[in-house]
Amino acid sequence: MAVTRNGIPVRVWCWPGDTADSKLIRQVKDDMRDWTLAKIVWVADRGFASAGNRRFLRSGDHHYILGEKLRSGSAEADAALSRQGRYQDVGENMRVKEVRISDTERFVICHKPEAAERDRHMREQLVAQLTDLIEESDKLSDFKRGELRGKIADKPGLNRYLRTTPAGKLRIDQARIKTEENLDGKYLLRTSDPRLSAEDIALGYKQLLEVERGWRDLKQVIDLRPVYHRKEERIRAHVILCWLALLLIRIAETTAGTTWTRIADELDLLTLGTFTGPAGTFRQTAELTKTQRDLLAKLKIPPPKKIIEATPATR
């Protein structure tokens, strides 16, 4: 999905589930080539950050902002995390620090204090659970201890903090805990744009949240799935119709300055009553509330007529 900085979806694509990332990136880039856009910044998560994809995205006058795996063990990630420097605040819950480790790319470390506290709490829970599991393991036979080690290996969250001594004893990996503490609440970004500020890079990456919110609304609000079609052209048509509905939702949200849920809830309160008497039958709308009048005015929708229909009684 392609979105503007304000979250307005301007185009959507869909492919078979087994399509390679490199193929879909190339098609999207080719499709956007004919658009007269002043600037395109490709924002993608860690799954798209291969060297081949980066080279392709840089062709032309385009740039990218990509998430980088902190725990990948790559030389670039380790170098970025080891550099000293001060963070600058760029929001209520965001700090950023730019580090220079390449002549062609820039790296920005983002730190969210609330996320750091959440990471610390989750780690403490996992370490406490692991401690309980291995507390009496020294008394077990080698076979039973091996069985316990295998069970823990199937749980990545616990296995991350476990180490085995040369004698086969199970211990908490304190060095790993120390390393993880340094990563709490952080994520690493890579960009090819030489002009964007560190703040714009961090905020630009947050645009992925707009795309994710768009897909979430497609699935939960517009009911994109299930798809009751088997032909590819009908599946694509179904997706496009749902995208058009999402486009209307985003325009309504942007124009009204509130969420679609609040817009829908407020307008759902509009009622139409049917009244019958000796003179005949008429249908009348309820008096609009101030909130409803303001919403309709912002959306440039004329308010409904007071009397919708009137039918005189037959003599």
- Cα–Cα distance, 73 to 197 (Å, whole number): 27
221-241 residue pLDDT tens: 888 877 788 888 888 888 898
Q: If you ran DSSP here, which 8-state letter would residue 288 be given?
A: P
Whether 174 has a pLDDT exceeding 80, the answer reads: yes
The sign of the torsion formed by the CA atoms of 119, 216, 18, 2 equals negative
Task: For the chain, give the mean pLDDT.
Answer: 87
Residues 6 or more apart whose CB falls under 8 angstroms from that of 58 comprise: 64, 192
261-277 residue pLDDT tens: 899 999 999 899 999 98
Per-residue confidence at 76, pLDDT binned at 50, 70, 90? confident
87-122 residue pLDDT tens: 888 877 889 999 888 878 889 999 999 999 999 999
Residue reference for tokens 């007071």: 306
pLDDT for res 50:
76
- Cα–Cα distance, 131 to 284 (Å, whole number): 69
Closest Cα partner for 193 from 38, 58, 30, 44? Answer: 58
Please tell me the pTM assigned to this model.
0.66
3-state class (DSSP) for residue 301: coil
Token digits for 144? 């039973």
Residues 6 or more apart whose CB falls under 8 angstroms from that of 231 comprise: none
Domain definitions of the chain by residue range: 2-105+187-255, 114-181, 272-312
Helix H or strand E segment including 143 = helix 142-153
* Residue at 140: amino acid letter: L
- Cα–Cα distance, 266 to 199 (Å, whole number): 36
Per-residue confidence at 38, pLDDT binned at 50, 70, 90? low
